[in-house]
Each structure stands twice: as structure tokens, then as C-alpha cells.
Amino acid sequence: MSHAPEDTRVLPGRELAAALRGETADRASELAAAGTPPHLAVVTATADESSAWYVRSIARAAEKAGLRCTVRDLGPDVSPDTVRDTLKEVSGDPAVHGVILQTPLPAGAVAQELASVIDPVKDVDGANPLSLGRLAARLPAFAPATAEAVMALLDHHKVELEGRHAVVVGRSTVVGKPLAHLLLDRNATVTVCHSRTRELAALTSTADVLIAAVGRPGLIRAEHVRPGAVVIDVGTNPTQDGGLTGDVDADSVEGRAGALTPVPGGVGPVTTALLLQHTIRAALTL
């Protein structure tokens, strides 16, 4: 007789995010009292819903934590040159400590190319290729907030990584690639899968820790998950009703995954909190 499947443990991000924001608020008030209020500049050039939501959430969280936040919204039709000039300007502003360039960008703009003009000490979302190179070389650098949020959640929920097989689905410059480096640094055995991967389920179902970061709603289903595996859902896909859904079909993997991060309320809130924490770190360095 087969026994009933175990319940899947939910790995929430909100309380970790709140703790991080608390520390950030304390540092922010110290910095403000010392005459250098920490200041994050957001440069955006897209009509993308998920990005717009993130920008509003950054601004809201910054205000609550006592950071200054300036949003430079250039609109979706701006030229790459204008984006570059704006980035140069805000990065060169001595009152600004952190700069984030939102993606996606207008057609013809290459995020990594444009982000090259962000001063690495202000590159709080690790978008300058120098930051990614330093990360890969294990030198001090800001990791992209989303990639670091995955690590922070795994640590917070005490998920073992040493010697474990971590499978990352998605090879983006903001999540998949930097995350592979962060996982390697923790002695995980890392496999990176992507849209051209053959037999995706055969690979993902060997993962102890499975991370979905592709931006395709419901891509990861029960057949992709080894029973008991920890599943981290990085997807933030807007739904028709104005909500948000992940890359993991939560109903499908329920009872099979050992643990799963929710969307919303998982990686997202931790990402925003870490971006602010990075800005504090930059302000303390500058």
C-alpha cells in the first residue's frame, strides 16, 4: 500500500524581507543623521508590467526604510544613447549611491552594454559586466539582487547546498548565470538548463534544489521534480487579472516537492529588500 504524499513545505520570503528591511532602515537613519542619506536611482525605459510593478515596489520600500529613491522613467520609445547618457549622469552624481537599470529595454538596447557605464561601486543590481566577472572570479562585487535573494532564501530556510545537485532553469545575465556562480561558491554541483535543453524533465528531476528562472508560467510541473526536492520559483509573470504567477505550477508539484517558494511572497520581496541593502552598503563605501 502506498502512503499519502507528504505536504510540500512553503518557504515564504516576506518575513526575511521584513528583517532585512529593518536592518536597512536602521543603517539608513544613521547615514541620514551623518548627512549622507542613502540614495538609489532607478532608470527605466519600458512599459513592461512586471518591471513597472517592481519600480513602484522599490520606491515604496525605499521610502519606508528612509532611503531616497529617484525614478528616471524615459518611456519605452527612448534611444539606447539616451538611456546611456542618463545612466552616466546618475552614476556620476555624488549624491547617488546606487543605480539600477530596469529590464526589459527598448529594441536595439543591450542591457549589459548600457550598464557598463554604471560605476561598479554603485552597481547595486550587479548589471555591469565587470560585476558579473568579479562575481565569477570570487572578488567583491554586488550580485544581482534576484540571484542573491535565492541564496538568502535557501540560507534562511536552512537548505543544504554542499555537494548537492542544484539545477537552474534559465541562463539570463540577471538571474541564471550569476546564480550558477553563487551556488558553485557554496559547493553545490550546478547544472544550467535553458530553452534549447533536451530532456529537461530528465535533468531537473535529478535536482536536490531546483530553481526556475525562465519567465514562463507553469513551465515546471510534477514530472520535472524529484520527490522531496526544494523548488525555488523566481518567475514573476503577470496574470490577466492583474496578479502574479510563477514559473512553477504549484498545484502540480504540491505533494511531490519537499518545499516550494510561493509567488507572490517568495523571492520577490527578498529581491527588493536586498536591493536596498546593497544601496546602504554602497553608501557606506562611498
User: Restricting to residues 238-267, which ones interact with ligand GUE according to CB under 6 A?
Assistant: 244, 263-265
Strands 237-238 and 244-245: antiparallel
| Given 23, 29, 53, 82, the residue binding ligand GUE (CB under 6 A) | 53
Q: Where does 19-130 show beta strands of DSSP type E?
A: 39-44, 68-73, 98-101
Stretch that binds ligand GUE, among 28-36, 49-57, 152-160, 223-231 (CB under 6 A): 49-57
Grid cell in block for residue 41: 536611482
- The answer to whether residue 269 forms part of the interface with ligand GUE (CB under 6 A) is yes
| Given 69, 97, 118, 125, the residue binding ligand GUE (CB under 6 A) | 125
User: Order of strands, edge to edge, in the sheet holding 98-101?
Assistant: 68-73, 39-44, 98-101
- 170 annotated as a binding-site residue: yes
Grid cell in block for residue 1: 500500500
The residue number with the shortest CB distance to ligand GUE is: 268
Question: What are φ and ψ of residue 269, in 5° steps?
Answer: -60, -30
- The answer to whether residue 146 forms part of the interface with ligand GUE (CB under 6 A) is yes
8 Å CB contact between 23 and 284: no
* Closer residue to ligand GUE, CB minimum distance, 203 or 263: 263
| Binding residue count for ligand GUE, defined by CB under 6 A | 23
Site string for ligand GUE, 75-114 (x = CB under 6 A): -------------------------xxxx-----------
Q: Which helix (H) or strand (E) holds 237?
A: strand 237-238
Stretch that binds ligand GUE, among 26-34, 45-53, 84-92, 276-284 (CB under 6 A): 45-53
8 Å CB contact between 267 and 152: no
| Given 54, 83, 97, 183, the residue binding ligand GUE (CB under 6 A) | 54
- 171 annotated as a binding-site residue: yes
CA gap 223, 105 in Å, rounded:
34
User: Order of strands, edge to edge, in the sheet holding 9-10?
Assistant: 9-10, 259-260, 230-233, 209-212, 165-169, 189-193
- The answer to whether residue 271 forms part of the interface with ligand GUE (CB under 6 A) is yes
Stretch that binds ligand GUE, among 53-61, 78-86, 213-221, 251-259 (CB under 6 A): 53-61
- The answer to whether residue 204 forms part of the interface with ligand GUE (CB under 6 A) is no
Q: Is 107 exposed, middle or buried (0-12, 13-18, 19+ CB in 10 A)?
A: exposed
- The answer to whether residue 236 forms part of the interface with ligand GUE (CB under 6 A) is yes
Q: Cell 520527490 appears where?
A: 227
CA gap 104, 241 in Å, rounded:
22
- 216 annotated as a binding-site residue: no
Grid cell in block for residue 11: 518557504
108: left (phi over 0), alpha (psi -120 to 50) or beta: left
- The answer to whether residue 272 forms part of the interface with ligand GUE (CB under 6 A) is yes
- 172 annotated as a binding-site residue: yes
- The answer to whether residue 174 forms part of the interface with ligand GUE (CB under 6 A) is yes
* Closer residue to ligand GUE, CB minimum distance, 103 or 204: 103
Residues annotated as binding site? 170-172, 236
Point out which residues bind ligand GUE (CB under 6 A): 50-51, 53-54, 57, 100-103, 125, 127, 145-146, 174, 236, 244, 263-265, 268-269, 271-272
